[in-house]
C-alpha cells in the first residue's frame, strides 16, 4: 500500500501523465530499494514499468528482492508440505 501511494505521489510530483496511476484492486509489482535513496523509502510499487524518470534503478536491492519475491514464498510452500529448506549435516557426512 505504501509503495503504491509513493508511486502515485511521484507521478503527480513529476507531472508524468504517460504512466498509469495505481488504483485500488490493481495488480501491482514492487521493487525493494537500498537506502539511502532519493525517496527515503525501502519499497515502491508500480503497474507495468518503473518509470526511468524516477531515477531509482541504481538503488534496486536485488538480494532483498530475491528474498522477498522468491525465497520467502518458497519457504512457505515447503513448510506446508513439511519439507526442509536448508540442508542439514548428518553424522554420516561428518565421519564420511
Position 92 scores a pLDDT of 73
- CB 76, CB 85: distance < 8 Å: no
Q: Judge if 51 and 14 occupy the same domain.
A: yes
- Mean pLDDT of the 52-69 span: 96
Q: CA–CA separation, 78 vs 83, rounded Å? A: 5
pTM above 0.85, yes or no: no
pLDDT digits 0-9 by tens, 3-25: 999 999 999 999 999 999 999 99
Position 4 scores a pLDDT of 96
81 has a pLDDT exceeding 80: yes
Q: Judge if 67 and 92 occupy the same domain.
A: yes
Q: Where are the alpha helices (DSSP H) in 14-66?
A: 62-66
Q: Judge if 16 and 46 occupy the same domain.
A: yes
Q: Judge if 5 and 22 occupy the same domain.
A: yes
Position 83 scores a pLDDT of 84
Q: Judge if 67 and 26 occupy the same domain.
A: no
pLDDT digits 0-9 by tens, 24-52: 999 999 999 999 999 999 999 999 999 99
Q: Where in the sequence is the domain holding 96, given as residue range(s)?
A: 62-96
Q: Judge if 50 and 79 occupy the same domain.
A: no
Q: Judge if 29 and 55 occupy the same domain.
A: yes
Cα Rg of the chain, angstroms: 19
Number of domains into which the chain is organized: 2
Q: Judge if 91 and 47 occupy the same domain.
A: no
Say which residue the cell 509513493 belongs to.
6
**What values do phi and psi take at 35, rounded to 5?**
-115, 145
Position 60 scores a pLDDT of 97
Amino acid at each position: 500500500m505504501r509503495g503504491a501511494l509513493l508511486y502515485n505521489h511521484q507521478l503527480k510530483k513529476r507531472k508524468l501523465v504517460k504512466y498509469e496511476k495505481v488504483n485500488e484492486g490493481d495488480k501491482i509489482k514492487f521493487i525493494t530499494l537500498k537506502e539511502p535513496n532519493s525517496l527515503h523509502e525501502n519499497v515502491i510499487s508500480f503497474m507495468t514499468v518503473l518509470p526511468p524518470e524516477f531515477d531509482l534503478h541504481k538503488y534496486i536491492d536485488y538480494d532483498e528482492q530475491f528474498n522477498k519475491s522468491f525465497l520467502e514464498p518458497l519457504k512457505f510452500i515447503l513448510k506446508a508440505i513439511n519439507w526442509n529448506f536448508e540442508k542439514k549435516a548428518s553424522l554420516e557426512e561428518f565421519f564420511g
